A = this chain, B = another copy of it.
Amino acid sequence: MKNLSIGMFDSGIGGLTVLKEVRKQLPHEHIIYLGDMARLPYGNKSPYTVTRYSLENALFLLAKGIKMLIVACNTSSALSLSVLSRKLPVPVIGVIGPAAGEAVKLTRTGKIGVIGTKATVRSEAYPRAIQRLDSHIEVVSRPCPLFVPIVEEGLEGDEVAYLAARKYLGEFDGSGIDVMIMGCTHYPIMEPVIRQVLGEGVRIVNAGRETAKQAIGVLEERGAVRKTGKGGVSYYVTDSPESCREIGSRFLGEPVEHVKFVKNLNLTDFRLPA
């Protein structure tokens, strides 16, 4: 089992910010990354559709031989983690639990902010995860739907990014939060702007980093961590590999190479599992 790969998927390339952290913390592992670019984004789609896509992605990775699945997408984690955990024969980790845990550890005011896609915020997965850990903590959430297209256009350093950040994050003024969870894998690219607008008093939680830590824990429990050998990544995408290579390297901080095209993930007779 130790020699099997770690599977990861995201709606596109945002999950590469999570992959980056996993690579750093588990350098000997082989990772199979699937970006569902033909159907991105997930953040404005319904729970039914996101769960369908998530399960299709998971089954593709499972067939490749994986010892663990990391759902490197906040929307999928928010809407589909319980279905995936019930249906798959390997441990499944999402990004929400780890980020919630870190935020609860960090807060002093007992007030935590969460930003993410519409679907993630609407699901209330973060407030639920946080309040399971400490029911006294107050959670203030806000979707920031323009952040993803801003990052994908490479405009994170532009005035448009600053204005959008001011608009969205201004709503946290006076809320008393001292921790902010970046509840979308694209947002770490916006971190400098988010940090500038929120100011010094608010600590920022990067869900990807916390998820990588949890992945280590789960593998160690099972004696399944690779301790030697050169790790690597195999990339699969459901749309043209070119655009993944183009934008992906900005997310990963290193070139995204040998990307393979997957033609069809659709389960023709999909029904939402009970």
- Which A positions have Cβ atoms within 8 angstroms of B? 37-39, 44-46, 48-49, 145-146, 148-150, 152-153, 155, 158-160, 163-164, 167, 238-240, 242-243, 263-264, 266, 268, 270
Contact = CB atoms under 8 A, between A and B. Distances in A.
A49 B160 CA distance: 30
A44 B167 contact: no
A239 B46 contact: yes
Which of A149, A160, A242, A266: most chain B CB closer than 10 A? A149
Copies of this subunit: 2
Contacts of A38: 39, 45, 49
Contacts of A160: 146, 160, 163-164, 167
Nearest to A242: B46
Nearest to A164: B160
Contacts of A48: 239-240
Contacts of A146: 146, 149-150, 153, 155, 160
A240 B153 contact: no
